[in-house]
Chains A and B, each alone.
Chain A
């Protein structure tokens, strides 16, 4: 066995128990891999796995490129999320300022700024998966902030390759970067389809050719003197494709990536010069103070600044707070930037260590702040720290004075719309409660009465005149909202929504009149169709024709 393989083996063996801990306590895997690396680093020669770790970096960025949704980038860049840019600038400057203040040279303090400003897609998105899937405002918001940050990271890496802040070399770098992107587009358009055709159904050939493309792009980047990360990103764009045709390929790439990324994160951990263990007392204390500063900036100051910016942009308090709490960690891209800078000699070992340690700590604290986000929000809101919100709700709501015996419809999505239509059909007075600013215009145009506020707030309901309401229909698939509604003790009957039967049962017991479980209702119809098929009342083809016509009609109506 080569020495290198022994090292890899040791790192993986040490990682095993750490991963079990991550799984047991629902923590993200990245910080625990770093911790495993720190422990493993005591037994191995850390420099060794650096080359394999480079593959990890390349594959990480590569898969980011593969998965990037170009139309989403366009909407994000063109649309609302200037907030993200503001956030990066403000928080980044704070990080830089902090660094300079405690005596870190400006050139290095820049990296502290970067570390504080960027948040982790892997950790953040993983923690926020449910919110994104349910298409909640904060899920979408967090996702687009992450996207802007990741793209910023790529640009920083490109500039970093120039090794200076002079305009000319940077322009050259940007030129090379652009050339790589053009190359990627060409490969994507001509070569990739050809490869797909030639490979036939062989996943093996697809995987090795895609890895080859990656290697070629990295080689090209190296030749041009650009960071290999930029090459890897371009390579990712080069093989972007509808995953349907190449399910095997994209699955296979995940395995390859996971392996090398694990090597990367453990290596990063191993690279740390451990305070107290591997260095002197005073130096250790200084380093840890710096780490503490960075952690405070990332885990406390960053969410505060972000919340403020989002509030200013018109998002309501809860969405703003919860979004901000989901991006309160250091990004894996910041780690990549740090390690590249370390390799290029722009960063000293001490500052590098500080960034890595802060990353590991904030990734863990972030999963905690995520778990207790509602409580944190409540604590902040109850102390009136998010003041002025009532005025905002008043300004942007329209509720007739004499509204009574009305239906309150919470959430103006697909279900909300249908409910509003029903009410209008029956001349039943209603009021819509919604908190998504992007839906605001639609709500104002289409609804007679609405309150623009958060369903978690008592004031929102007061504004909707809940005292005189007949029934509350919540279409918001969120446990905290449902439970809060039940706990507010309104007289009106309450119909809620949830995703699974056992929660539904809890909510019914807690006093809901009825709880819709989407899949349960859908399954009733599914069973009807099946029954019809098996009883030979219809044929599969006849069923298809009928249902297809229904969908077409539905879409046609929606379009009008």
Chain B
């Protein structure tokens, strides 16, 4: 029998406080993560002690982590990162090793034990995905070359994190041999799961998702179901292994990541990214708040002095290491500088590694406090470096110029500029496509139907699957840089948003249902509003007129239309056939 349930006050307090803190952070230019962590510190036993970790908050924060990794997996489109893959791998692997060594060195110098120093070293080698990607997106530099390098390195780091978490989840080993066994078992399991994920993304998922992609609700929920399947299998891996007498642990993060990776290779991943994003934001917030919920002030500030010193040393070390390595790969001075300055902070994964290490009994809670404080300090400082990266570069350019290799790494994904964007592939827009194709080098079509996307791609158009309302989709089509935009959506809200986002020079054609809507759209800057219904009404009246008045003209007119209907081509060249007929 069910009993009375009320929504927990704990969660309400967390939500409200984090929201307020989030706004404060926003106003002062700090990343929201900082606000959430501080909220946790303030609400938790370290300060006020009014909120405790409950099963609900714990579940939500676990979900947050799983979703964060799931999202990361979805972003891993192999074909998009392959071109910078070689330099990125060459940068990231030595970088992690060097930063880890620096981390171990400074920890030993600060008086930590060997195992602790090792864990600290492993925890500090990543830069913060959340901070860097957030800042890059805010500054609209995510697709710039230095942005791509940063994102690529972050992804490699994330893979290492995932494997490391799996090892840590196995708990404190007795000897080196056990570490090795654990590593091997974990690597084998990871490899198996990866093969399963990649195999599924090749053979199982395409037909399944091709069917469901057109159904918005089902699509999202089936993707979640897929993610939960991997999360569950990873978590309950022993259920499957015990018959073989093996015991091992996989992190739910690993499962979530691989589930995402499998989906990333499908053409529908951008749409999915946008749907998973809000859930991730919400749950990750709970995660960051709850990080400090179990930390006392003593624990957090136990190594305060050490944390400040380590923060300074590590940020300098990170900058130098990144600068040297990116420069070594032959990128220009500016790219090198901008790429390095962004990566100075200790990642939230550092805290996650800390939590896992603490739960696995590798370190004491004070060391976790140290890592949390370290991440907090470096994140806050690095945000300002990123905010003023260009100004800093201009200042320092004369000093740095002797490092200038003069090369510039070339290549990469096509970046749209002065192109045409078409929203919706239907009877209205498809007739205009061939004309646009003659006029513009790139024509990008956004549509929500998988069969349309396939037809478009087969015919050489750039097609993006997804809903135009999603910001990721708009960004992917480089709407802001488009020279021409045609929207066949009759929803005024969509078209208004579109008109708000395009550049002032762009020519915009949109569709509307009523004359009132059309006027509103003209007010907002549309150049042409297609009123299909009104136009059809006029046209039909003209046909009737011809029918009543001059049957021959009528027959000719409908003959032309009927031919068009009968041909039913995907990309008719209408301009060729519009000569003559009723209009003359």
Contact = CB atoms under 8 A, between A and B. Distances in A.
A and B: interacting chains: yes
Interface of A: 1-6, 8-10, 12-13, 15-16, 19-20, 22-24, 29, 47, 50-52, 54-55, 58, 195, 198-200, 202-205, 207-209, 211-212, 215-216, 218-219, 222, 228, 242-244, 247-248, 251-256, 258-259, 262, 271, 342-344, 349, 407, 414-415, 417-419, 421-423, 425-426, 428, 471, 473, 475, 495, 499-502, 504-505, 508, 513-531, 533-534, 540-541, 543-544, 547-548, 551-552, 554-555, 558
Interface in B472-530: 486, 488, 492-493, 496-497, 500, 507, 509, 511, 515-516, 518-519, 522, 526-530
Q: Is the interface of B mostly helix, strand, loop or mixed?
A: helix
A24 B208 CA distance: 10
A252 B226 CA distance: 20
B15 A212 contact: yes
A8 B565 contact: no
B19 A551 contact: no
B543 to A, nearest CB: 7
A2 B54 CA distance: 10
A376 to B, nearest CB: 25
Contacts of B470: 251
B4 interface: yes
A204 B281 contact: yes
A2 B62 contact: yes
Given A211-B282, A252-B278, 6 more contacts: A216-B12, A218-B7, A242-B493, A258-B217, A514-B561, A530-B436
B533 A414 contact: yes
Given A251-B274, A523-B427, A527-B575, A415 B22 contact: no
B548 interface: yes
B227 to A, nearest CB: 8
Nearest to A58: B7
Contacts of A271: 2
Interface string B539-558: 11101110111000000001
Given A423-B544, A471-B547, A473-B540, A522 B471 contact: no
Interface string B1-22: 1111111110110011011001
A422 B427 contact: no
B174 interface: no
A508 B562 CA distance: 8
A501 B19 CA distance: 51
A175 B179 CA distance: 66
A343 B2 contact: yes
Contact of B428 (A20, A342, A523, A543): A523
Given A1-B235, A262-B221, A501-B565, A222 B7 contact: yes
Contacts of A514: 543, 558, 561-562
A13 B507 contact: no
Interface residues of B, number: 116
The list of the 3 closest CB pairs from A to B, nearest first, reads: A252-B278, A16-B225, A519-B427
A555 B226 CA distance: 52
Contact of B5 (A12, A51, A207, A499): A51
A418 B277 CA distance: 48
B431 A526 contact: yes
B114 interface: no
B428 A526 contact: yes
A248 B471 contact: yes
B169 to A, nearest CB: 11
Contact of B26 (A13, A202, A525): A202
Interface in B182-229: 208, 211-212, 215, 217-218, 220-222, 224-226, 228-229
Given A259-B279, A517-B565, A208 B7 contact: no
A531 B431 CA distance: 12
B352 to A, nearest CB: 15
B528 A29 contact: no
Contact of B232 (A9, A195, A200): A9
A414 B527 contact: no
A13 B229 contact: yes
B225 A426 contact: no
A2 B432 contact: no
Given A418-B538, A502-B568, A548 B544 contact: no
Contacts of B584: none
Nearest to A475: B540
Contact of A247 (B225, B469, B532): B469
Contacts of A207: 278, 281-282
B19 A208 contact: yes
Nearest to A195: B23
Contacts of A202: 26, 32
A384 to B, nearest CB: 37
Given A255-B278, A525-B530, A51 B432 contact: no
B531 interface: yes
Contact of B527 (A248, A344, A417, A541): A541
B509 A529 contact: yes
Contacts of B561: 514, 520-521
B574 interface: yes
B524 to A, nearest CB: 10
A523 B486 CA distance: 12
A253 B578 CA distance: 46
B534 interface: yes
Contacts of B164: none
20 contacts: A2-B58, A9-B231, A15-B225, A195-B23, A198-B23, A204-B22, A205-B22, A215-B16, A253-B278, A343-B3, A423-B544, A505-B565, A516-B536, A519-B488, A520-B427, A520-B428, A525-B535, A526-B432, A526-B486, A544-B522
Given A247-B493, A422-B544, A554 B534 contact: yes
A58 B225 CA distance: 22
Given A208-B18, A243-B493, A522 B532 contact: yes
B275 interface: yes
B218 to A, nearest CB: 5
B535 A522 contact: yes
Contacts of B431: 520, 523-524, 526-527
A522 B492 CA distance: 18
A518 B513 CA distance: 12
B63 interface: yes
A517 B2 contact: no
Contact of B228 (A8, A51, A209, A258): A8
Among B4, B229, B527, B540, chain A packs the most CB atoms within 10 A around the CB of B540
Contact of B518 (A248, A251, A530, A551): A551
Contacts of B430: 523
B537 A20 contact: no
Contacts of B11: 215
A12 B26 contact: no
B136 interface: no
B56 interface: yes
A342 B3 CA distance: 9
A259 to B, nearest CB: 6
A514 B212 CA distance: 35
A216 B11 CA distance: 11
B359 interface: no
B276 to A, nearest CB: 7
A531 B435 contact: yes
B536 A522 contact: yes
Given A19-B212, A251-B278, A244 B221 contact: no
A1 B519 CA distance: 55
Contact of B2 (A19, A342, A501, A544): A342
B59 interface: yes
Contacts of A204: 22, 32, 278, 281
B532 A415 contact: no
Nearest to B506: A540
Contact of B276 (A55, A255, A423): A255
A519 B540 contact: no
Contacts of B539: 516, 521
Contacts of A54: 5, 7
Given A501-B568, A518-B533, A29 B235 contact: no
